[in-house]
Chain A
Amino acid sequence: MSAAANTFDIAIVGGGHNGLVAAALLAKAGRRVVLCEALPTLGGAAGVSTLMPGMRAPKCAHVVSGFSPALIRKLNLKKHGLNVLQKDMSRVALDPGGRHIVFGPKAKATRENIFNWSSRDAESWKVFCGELDLLTSALVPLHRGVSPDLVPETWPERMAWARHYLRVRRNGREPFQKLLQLLPSNVGDFLDASFETDILKGALALDASLGSYHGPSAPGSLFYWTWQRAGELASPSGTLQVEGGPDALVQALASAARARGADIRTSSSVASIRIEDEETTGLVLANGDEIAAPIVISTINPKATYLNLVGAKHLDAGMARDVGAIRVRASAAKVNLALAQLPSFAKADEKLLAGRLLVAPGLAEVERASNPQKYGALPAYPVMEVTLPSIVDASLTPDGRHILSAIVPFVPLDVDGGWEGQSDNLIKRVIKTLGEYAPDISDLVMAGEVLTPRDLETHCGVAGADWHQGEVTFDQAMMMRPVPQLANGRSPIGGLFLGGAGAHPGGGLSGRPAVNAVAAATKYAKGGRS
Chain B
Amino acid sequence: MAWVTHSLIHMERFDVIVIGAGHNGLTAAAYLARAGLSVLVLEKNEYIGGAAVSREIEPGFIYSSCSYALSLLRPEIVRDLELVRHGLRVMPYHGSVTLMGDGRYLAASSHSDVMRREISRFSKRDADAYQQYSRDMRRQADLVAPLLMQAPPDPASLSPSKLRRTLSLLSDAGAMGAAGVADAVRFWTMSAADLLDRYFESDVVKAHLAASATIGTGLGPMSPGSAYVMLHHRIGGIDGAGGAWGYVRGGMGTVSKALAASVHASGGEVRASSGVDEVKVSKGRASGVVLEDGTQIDASVVMSGLELKRSVLSLLDWKGLPKGFPDRVSKFKTRGSSAKLNIALDGHPQFSAVPDDCPSLDGDIRLCGTIEDMEHAYDDWKERVMPRNPYIEMVLPSRLDPTLAPPGKHVASVFVQYVPDTLIDGSWTQANRKTLEDVVLDKIEAAAPGFRKKVRHVETRTPAELEGEIGLTQGNIFHGELTLDQLLFNRPLPELAQYRTPVRNYYLCGSSTHPGGGVMGAPGANAASAVLSDIGKRRRVRRSA
Contact = CB atoms under 8 A, between A and B. Distances in A.
Interface of A: 150-152, 169, 173, 176-178, 180-186, 189, 193, 214, 217-220, 318, 321-322, 325, 327, 367-368, 371, 374-375, 473-475, 480, 483-485
Most buried by B among A178, A180, A484: A180
Contact of B179 (A152, A178, A183, A318): A318
Given A218-B223, A325-B198, A184 B189 contact: yes
B484 interface: yes
B182 A480 contact: yes
Nearest to B225: A219
B418 interface: no
B219 A484 contact: no
Interface in B183-235: 185-186, 189-190, 194, 197-198, 219, 222-225
B382 A367 contact: yes
7 contacts: A150-B182, A151-B181, A178-B494, A218-B224, A219-B225, A219-B485, A367-B382
B490 A180 contact: yes
Contacts of B490: 180-181
Given A184-B484, A367-B382, A151 B177 contact: yes
Contacts of A151: 174, 177-178, 181
Contacts of A217: 223, 382
Contact of A177 (B174, B181, B194, B494): B494
Contacts of B545: none
A176 B186 contact: no
A473 B198 contact: no
Given A150-B182, A177-B494, A325-B198, A475 B485 contact: no
Contacts of A473: 189-190, 224
B319 interface: no
Contact of B494 (A180, A214, A371, A485): A180
Nearest to A222: B485
B489 A180 contact: yes
B219 A374 contact: no
A321 B375 CA distance: 26
Given A150-B181, A151-B178, A327 B156 contact: no
By secondary structure, the A interface counts as helix
A375 B377 CA distance: 13
B331 interface: yes
Contacts of A483: 182
B1 interface: no
B494 A219 contact: no
Contacts of A150: 178, 181-182
Contacts of A189: 331, 333
Contacts of A182: 485
Contacts of A220: 189, 224-225
Contacts of A173: 156-158
Contact of B485 (A152, A169, A185, A474): A185
A315 to B, nearest CB: 14
Nearest to B485: A185
A219 B197 contact: no
Contacts of B182: 150, 322, 475, 480, 483-484
B467 interface: no
A150 B219 CA distance: 27
A475 B190 contact: yes
A218 B485 CA distance: 12
B155 interface: yes
Interface string B156-168: 1110000000000
Contacts of B142: none
B56 interface: no
Contacts of B489: 177, 180
B189 A374 contact: no
Given A177-B489, A181-B494, A184-B189, 17 more contacts: A150-B182, A151-B177, A173-B157, A181-B493, A189-B331, A193-B331, A217-B223, A217-B382, A218-B225, A219-B483, A219-B485, A375-B372, A375-B376, A473-B189, A474-B224, A475-B190, A484-B182
B223 A480 contact: no
Given A218-B223, A325-B197, A181 B485 contact: yes
Contacts of B174: 151-152
A483 B156 CA distance: 29
A327 B179 CA distance: 18
B379 interface: yes
Nearest to B182: A484
A429 B333 CA distance: 35
Contact of B222 (A178, A368, A374): A374
Given A150-B181, A177-B494, A214-B224, A219 B484 contact: yes
B495 interface: yes
Q: Nearest 8 A-B pairs (CB), nearest first?
A: A184-B484, A177-B494, A219-B225, A185-B485, A474-B189, A220-B224, A325-B198, A176-B156
Nearest to B166: A165
Nearest to A175: B156
B505 to A, nearest CB: 23
A191 B222 CA distance: 22
A327 to B, nearest CB: 6
A169 B156 contact: yes
A379 to B, nearest CB: 13
A180 B157 CA distance: 13
Interface in B243-257: none
